[in-house]
Amino acid sequence: MADQEIQASDKREVQPEGGEFTREGLYFTPAVDILETETELTMLVDMPGVDNENVEIDLKDNVLSLLGKVPSAQEEGQELLTEYRTGNYFRSFRLTDVVDQAGITASMTDGVLHLRLPKAAKAIPRKIPITGA
């Protein structure tokens, strides 16, 4: 991937594409960093308030879907001011044949989902040796 400067963006609500969103509640689009090496892609997905038990990762028809659920913490009393909205997280990515889908692994630490997407053998650059005649 080319070197690019990436700007941090504000938290955005998920907007359904081509129809109604079928999940209840408020959903945000998590910020994602994607890093590339010769052998794999690494995705770092920010989902504050989400732990291992509340993450669902699905892969169907070459679409990788990430869902992070934030447990609701309703405090008793009247709400006077809210500066930080909480909700769940949802994002999906279309994968190409560059990714070895069977080798995808994931871990979660401090609200950051770490996905490793190994490249398929045909996508890994290699040197062709030259032999003399």
Mean pLDDT per 10-residue segment, the chain (133 residues): 52 56 79 95 95 94 95 71 83 94 95 96 84 81
> What kind of architecture, by CATH, is found in domain 16-71+85-123?
Sandwich (2.60)
Cβ-in-10-Å burial (0-12, 13-18, 19+) of 22 comes to exposed
Q: What is the pLDDT of residue 115?
A: 97
Q: What is the pLDDT of residue 73?
A: 66
CA separation (Å) from 75 to 34, 80, 84?
36, 12, 14
d(CA 49, CA 28): 12
DSSP string of the chain, one letter each residue: -----------EE---SSS---S-S-EEE--EEEEE-SSEEEEEEE-TT--GGGEEEEEETTEEEEEE-PPP-PPSS------S---EEEEEEE--TTB-GGG-EEEEETTEEEEEEEBPGGGS--PPP----
Q: What is the pLDDT of residue 119?
A: 94
CA separation (Å) from 9 to 31, 38, 62, 110, 127?
8, 28, 27, 20, 39
Q: What is the pLDDT of residue 23?
A: 64
Q: What is the pLDDT of residue 87?
A: 87
